[in-house]
Amino acid sequence: MAFQGFVVSDWGAQHSGVYSALAGLDMTMPGEVSDSWLSGKSHWGPLLTRAIYNQTIPQERLNDMVIRILVPFLACDSIDFPSEESTPNFSSWTHHTYGQEFPYQHAGPIVQQNWHIEARSKFSDQIALNVAREAVVLLKNCGQNLPVARSDGIRNILIAGVGAGLDPNGYNCKDQRCVDGTMTSGWGSAAVNNPYVVTPYEALTEKAKEQGITVNFASETDDLDQVEHYSSIADMAIVVVQAFSGEGYIEVDGNYGDRKNLTLWHDGEKLISAIADRCQKTVVVVNSVGPVHMEEWVDNDNVVAILYAAPLGQFVGQAIADVIFGEVNPSGRLPFTIGRKLSHYVPIVDTLCEDKRPQDNFDRDIYLDYRFFEKHTIKPRYEFGYGLSYTSFSVSELQITEINPPTEYLPYAEEYLSPFHTILDDVCDPEDALFPHEDFDAYPGYIYPYLYNERLRNFDIDEKFDYPFGYSQEPRESPPLSGGGIGGNPALWEVLYEVTAKVHNDGKYQGAYVAQLYLELPSTLAASPHKMLRGYDKVSLQPGECTTVKFRLTRKDMSIWDSPSQQWILQTGTYEIYVSSSSRQIEVSGEIDIGC
């Protein structure tokens, strides 16, 4: 595909040396053989050096790996090459200012590990808050009970649920595995510490105080008697329920990374029912990493509003409160479908195969999420792209303009440039690559590229390496038809059509609308999903204001991949164009006929 960047493995996902290099892997993480942390064993390291010297891997491939890794670095104007004196100003392994140079190996002299440089700013904090606000999705708002206002008779509210308050262990447990309080992220090795956390209880209480609304708080869901008492006297109850997940090396309550089911944690369903049975205006906030099963309570007449909030970072509580009290008009849209039955979701694979690992056969092919629901005409509870607003919008005047005439087949891309050799003989005497023991001592756990001896082969010189089927040691002079540029054949990114529509704010509040462009391909050569998202645009409008949303359809957007010919093909037939409010709510539509 002529990908111009560098290819890096997932953590521990490299399982071969020569084969992975020939297949296009440029960087391996963390470097060690999987499950041999800090062992110094690697599929590359000295083995990669040896493969270059014995010419199993061409020198050109090594040069290519280095160039791919360095080019993005050099493309950043604000970054300079580090000098020999340069050192990182932080360590991801410790929060202490000073410690051993190699903390996990317990080796090396005492050095400064962290300079504690403040990376945040008022600007970055505002961006984080805005992102959190715009991500909140309003799923239900019966009777326009939101936003909350004392003038609507709301004088006392109950805030309930473990997710509304702070975890007793704090908000920076190791790898963010705290699950007994407000969720800011999933757990795992990539989780970072929160500088602080604004919980829903704190933010909602502050908003309520501003309007003279009194607040009760029940974070302990085990004692339902107290919850039921508060519910019976509340004008409105706000229930924060949750579902967590994270990285598989951490197990929480039988959940090994991924969730083992789609139910709420901390008996969330039971809590909602107990409150909604007594409070006629119950608002449910689902703070979750993904879809949850809602059928037990979603149609309860007393559940007047539902919000979905993904892991929103340290401003999770403020974002939720700003939407509930109307300071922010919700504009988030669901990035997945919420079904009515558990059978409508991809099955949760929890059985082990012979290699002791769960196996998914991907028998749904490309029909995932909304594509699966569309294919089988299943009505979801809330569809992909769904989200309500406190105002209303209308969409009109769809226009489709041809920019470039489409052709069925791709043109061939330009031939590759001639190879540039840095020196005439790159691979020299292997003695030059031996470990320089006289210059420094090796630290345990480190992976070094040096050879430990001059033996370059594990097999006789007459034997040939078993290269993958179809691999050629001769470099290609021209790219494949599907390749030749950034992201593939440059013609794939040629704009064929421009689609525009007018969006009008018909309501009385300022708000943001997310216009979604869906495309339905003809099935001339192959069956295709009923709808495929091909673009979206969020526009903010004052009451009565109108604007134009614009989308560009590229050849890639309108093509299918043909495996036998290994190329992208533009089918003849009728292409249906939809500008929608969600995957199921079509606002305006049109057609494009190609080769008919």
Residues marked as catalytic: 10
Q: Which two tokens stand for residue 575?
A: 């292409």
For the chain, first and last CA: distance in Å?
30
Determine the angle formed by the axes of helices 46-53 and 59-75, rounding to 10 degrees: 130
DSSP 498-561: EEEEEEEE-SSS-EEEEEEEEEE---SSS---S-EEEEEEEEEE-TT-EEEEEEEEEHHHH-EE
Alpha-carbon distance of 282 to 275, in angstroms, equals 7
589 contacts: CB under 8 Å, gap ≥ 6: 398, 576, 577, 578, 579
User: What b/e readout covers 560-569, taking b as 16+ CB neighbours within 10 angstroms?
Assistant: beeeeeebbb
Q: Residue 124, CB half-sphere, CA atoms under 13 Å: how many? A: 7
Q: Mapping DSSP to helix (H, G, I), strand (E, B) and coil, where does residue 246 land?
A: strand
Burial of 398 (0-12, 13-18, 19+ CB in 10 A): middle
- The answer to whether the beta carbons of residues 176 and 150 sit under 8 Å apart is no
Q: Mapping DSSP to helix (H, G, I), strand (E, B) and coil, where does residue 151 land?
A: helix
Rama region for 281: left / alpha / beta (φ>0; ψ in -120 to 50; rest): beta
DSSP 32-93: SPTT-TTS---SSTHHHHHHHHTTSS-HHHHHHHHHHHHHHHHH-TT-----TT---S--SS
**Three-state SS sequence of 268-283:** HHHHHHHHHCCCCCEE
Q: Which two tokens stand for residue 285?
A: 């906030």
Alpha-carbon distance of 82 to 13, in angstroms, equals 29
Alpha-carbon distance of 325 to 317, in angstroms, equals 12
φ/ψ of 112, rounded to 5, equals -75, 125
Question: DSSP letter at 347?
Answer: P
Q: Mapping DSSP to helix (H, G, I), strand (E, B) and coil, where does residue 594 land?
A: strand
